[in-house]
Chains A and B, each alone.
Chain A
Amino acid sequence: MRYADFSFKKVLSMTMVFMILIFATGITYGQKKDYLRGFSISYYFNTIENTLKTFAYKYEFSNYQGNSFTASVFDALGKDFSLNSDNSGKTAKSLPVLVYHGITANTDEFNISPDLFKEQMFALKEAGYETVKIDDVMAFFRGEKTLPEKSFLLTFDDGRRDSFYNADPILQTLNYTAVMFVITKESVSEANSRSSFYLSKWELERVAKNNNWEIESHGRNAHGFYPIDEKGNSGHFFSNKLWLKDKNRLETTEEFEDRITEDMIGAKEDLENSFRIHVTSFAFPFGEFGQEETNFNEANEIALRDSKSIYDFLYYQIRGENGFTRNYPTEDSFLIKRIKVETSWKGSDLVWLLNTSSDKSLSYIDNMDSDNGWLDPWGDSYMENENLVLKASPNTKGSFVFLNGTYLWSNYELEASVNFPKGSAVALIAQYKDEKNYSMCKFTYDHATLEEKIDGKQKILAITKKPFDLPRSEWGKIGAIVDGNTISCLWNSEEAIPKEEVNEILSHGGIGFTTWGEKFNESELRIKKIVASPIEL
Chain B
Amino acid sequence: MKKKIFQEKETINNLSVKKTKNTHVWITFFLTIYFILLVKLTTIEAIINDKFFGIYSILITTYILSRFLFSYFHGTVPTDESYKPTVTFVVPAKNEEDNIAETIRRFSKVNYPREKIEVIAIDDGSTDGTLAEMYRIKKEIGNKFNVEIVHWDKNKGKREGMAEGVLRAKNEIVIFIDSDSFIDKDCVTHLVKYFVNPKVGAVCGHSDVYNKDTNLLTKMQTVRYYIAFKIYKSAESIFGTVTCCPGCCSAYRKEYVLEFLDKWRKQKFLGVRCTYGDDRSLTNFIIQKYETVYSEDAMAWTVVPEKFRQYMRQQQRWKKSWLRETFIASTFMWRKNPIAALSFYAYIFLAFISPIVFFRAMIWYPYITNSLPIVYLTGLFLMLFLHGLYYRASVGVRSWFLAIISFWFNTVILMWQLPWALITLRDTRWGTR
Task: Spell out A's residues near B (CB within 8 Å).
Answer: 1-7, 10, 14, 17, 20-21, 24-25, 28-29, 41-42, 45-46, 48-49, 52-53, 104-105, 113-115, 166, 194, 196
Residues in B with CB closer than 8 Å to A113 are 370
Whole-angstrom CA separation of A45 from B72 in the bound complex: 33
Asked if residues B369 and A6 are in contact (CB atoms below 8 Å), the reply is: no
The distance in angstroms between the C-alpha atoms of A52 and B74, with both chains bound, is 44
A41, B42: Cβ atoms closer than 8 Å: yes
Tell me whether B38 and A6 are in contact (CB under 8 A): no
Asked whether A1 lies within 8 Å of B370 as measured between CB atoms, the reply is no
By secondary structure, the A interface counts as helix
Contact B378 A45 (CB under 8 A): yes
Whether B38 and A25, one on each chain, are in contact in the complex, defined by CB atoms closer than 8 angstroms, is: yes
* A5 with B73: CB separation less than 8 A: yes
A-B contact pairs, 16 of them (CB 8 A): A2-B240, A3-B77, A3-B238, A3-B239, A4-B75, A14-B72, A29-B41, A41-B39, A42-B46, A49-B372, A49-B374, A52-B372, A104-B369, A105-B368, A115-B370, A166-B370
Q: Which of B115-172 contact A (CB under 8 A)?
A: none
Closest Cβ of chain B: how far from A165's Cβ, in Å?
8
Contact check, A3 vs B33: say whether CB atoms are below 8 A apart: no
On whether the beta carbons of A49 and B371 are closer than 8 Å, the reply is yes
| In the bound complex, CA of A5 to CA of B70 (Å) | 10
Complex: A46 Cα to B237 Cα, angstroms: 42
Query: Apart from A25-B34, A53-B372, what 10 extra A-B contacts exist at CB < 8 Å?
Result: A5-B75, A5-B76, A6-B75, A7-B75, A14-B69, A21-B37, A24-B34, A46-B374, A49-B371, A196-B46
- Cβ of A3 and Cβ of B240 under 8 Å apart? yes
User: Using a CB–CB distance below 8 Å, which chain B residues touch chain A?
Assistant: 30, 33-34, 37-39, 41-42, 45-46, 48-49, 69-70, 72-77, 197, 237-240, 291, 293, 337, 368-372, 374-375, 378
Bound Cα distance A91, B310 (Å): 71
Give the distance to chain A from B338, nearest Cβ to Cβ, in Å: 11
User: What chain B residues lie within 8 Å of A42 (beta carbons)?
Assistant: 42, 46, 375
Instruction: Please indicate the chain B residues that have their CB under 8 angstroms from the CB of A21 in the complex.
Output: 30, 33-34, 37
Please name all residues of chain A whose beta carbon is closer than 8 Å to the beta carbon of B70 when the two chains form the complex. Answer: 4
* Contact present for A3 and B72 (CB under 8 Å): no
A196 vs B42: C-alpha distance when bound (angstroms):
12
Query: What separation, in Å, do the CA atoms of A438 and B401 have in the docked complex?
Result: 76
CA distance A49 to B365 in the complex (A): 14
* Contact call B74/A3, Cβ cutoff below 8 A: yes
Contact: A2 with B73, CB < 8 Å?
A: no
- Total A-B pairs, Cβ < 8 A: 77
Which of A2, A28, A46, A49 has its CB near the most chain B CB atoms (within 10 A)? Answer: A2
CB distance from A51 to the nearest CB of B (A): 10
CB within 8 Å for A3 and B37 given contacts A21-B30, A49-B374: no
Task: Find chain B residues with CB under 8 A from A166 CB.
Answer: 370
User: Once the chains bind, are B374 and A48 in contact (CB under 8 Å)?
Assistant: yes
Bound form: Cα–Cα A104–B368 in Å: 10
Q: Is A4's CB under 8 angstroms from B374's CB? A: no
- CB–CB A5/B74 < 8 A: yes
Provided the pairs A49-B374, A115-B370 are in contact, do residues A3 and B42 lie with their beta carbons within 8 angstroms? no
How distant is B202 from chain A, measured CB to nearest CB, in Å? 13
Bound form: Cα–Cα A6–B72 in Å: 10
Instruction: From known contacts A29-B41, A41-B39, infer whether A1 and B239 are also in contact, taking CB-CB under 8 Å.
Output: yes
Which residues in B have their C-beta under 8 angstroms from that of A5? Answer: 73-76
- Return the chain A residue nearest B72 by Cβ: A14
Chain A residues, CB < 8 A from B75: 3-7
Nearest B residue to A44, CB-CB: B374
Q: Are A10 and B238 in contact (CB under 8 A)?
A: no
Which residues of A are found within 8 Å of B48, using beta-carbon distances?
196
Given A25-B38, A29-B41, the answer on whether A2 and B197 have CB atoms closer than 8 Å is: yes
Among B46, B239, B368, B372, the most chain A Cβ lie within 10 Å of the Cβ of B372
Contact A196 B49 (CB under 8 A): yes
Chain A residues within 8 Å of B69, by CB: 14
- With A24-B34, A45-B374, A166-B370 known as contacts, the answer to whether A4 contacts B238 (CB < 8 A) is yes
A161 CB to nearest chain B CB (Å): 11
A-B residue pairs, 5 tightest by C-beta: A5-B75, A4-B238, A114-B370, A25-B37, A45-B374
A3 and B293 form a contact (CB under 8 A):
yes
B337 contacts across to A, CB distance below 8 A: 1
How far does the alpha carbon of A49 sit from the alpha carbon of B378 in the complex, in Å?
A: 11
Q: Is the CB of A4 within 8 A of B73?
A: yes
A residues near B291, Cβ cutoff 8 Å: 2
**B37 partner residues in chain A, CB cutoff 8 A:** 21, 25
Counting chain B CB atoms within 10 Å of each CB, which of A5, A48, A113 scores highest?
Answer: A5
Nearest residue in B to A50 (C-beta to C-beta)? B372
CB distance from A4 to the nearest CB of B (A): 4
Residue of B nearest to A117 (CB): B370
Q: Give A21 to B37 CA distance when docked, in angstroms.
A: 8
Task: Tell me if A3 and B237 are in contact (CB < 8 A).
Answer: yes
Which residues of A are found within 8 Å of B73, using beta-carbon distances?
4-6, 10, 14
A15 to chain B, nearest CB (A): 11
Give A69 to B413 CA distance when docked, in angstroms: 30
Once the chains are docked, how many angstroms separate the CA of A104 from the CA of B370?
Answer: 9
Residues on the A chain within 8 Å of B293, using CB: 3
**B36 to chain A: closest CB distance in Å?**
9
Closest to A118 in B: B370
Q: From residue A123, how far is it (CB to closest CB) to chain B in Å?
A: 18
> Across the two chains, which residue of chain A brings its CB closest to B242?
A3
Q: Which residue of A lies closest to B370 (CB)?
A: A114
Report chain B residues within 8 Å CB of A1.
238-239, 337
Chain A residues whose CB sits within 8 angstroms of the CB of B370 once the complex forms: 105, 113-115, 166
User: Which residue of chain B has its CB nearest to the CB of A28?
Assistant: B38
CA distance A46 to B370 in the complex (A): 12
Q: Provide the bound-state CA to CA distance between A48 and B46, in Å.
A: 18
Q: How far is the CB of A183 from chain B (nearest CB, A)?
A: 21
CA separation between A119 and B46, bound complex, in Å? 30
* Complex contact A45–B34 (CB within 8 A): no
CB distance from A49 to the nearest CB of B (A): 4
In the bound complex, how far is the Cα of B44 from the Cα of A41, in angstroms? 12
A196 to B54, CA, bound (A): 15
Rounded to whole angstroms, the CA-CA distance of A14 and B74 in the bound complex is 13
The interface centre, meaning the residue of B238, B293, B337, B371 with most chain A CB atoms within 10 A of its CB, is B371
Which residues of the partner chain A approach B197 to less than 8 Å between Cβ atoms? 2
Cβ 8 A contact of A4, one of B49, B74, B368 = B74
Which of chain A's residues have a CB closer than 8 A to the CB of B76?
3, 5
Residue of B nearest to A41 (CB): B42
CB contacts (< 8 Å) of B375 on chain A: these are 42, 45
- A4: nearest chain-B partner, CB-CB: B238
**Chain B: which residue is nearest A13 at the CB level?**
B72
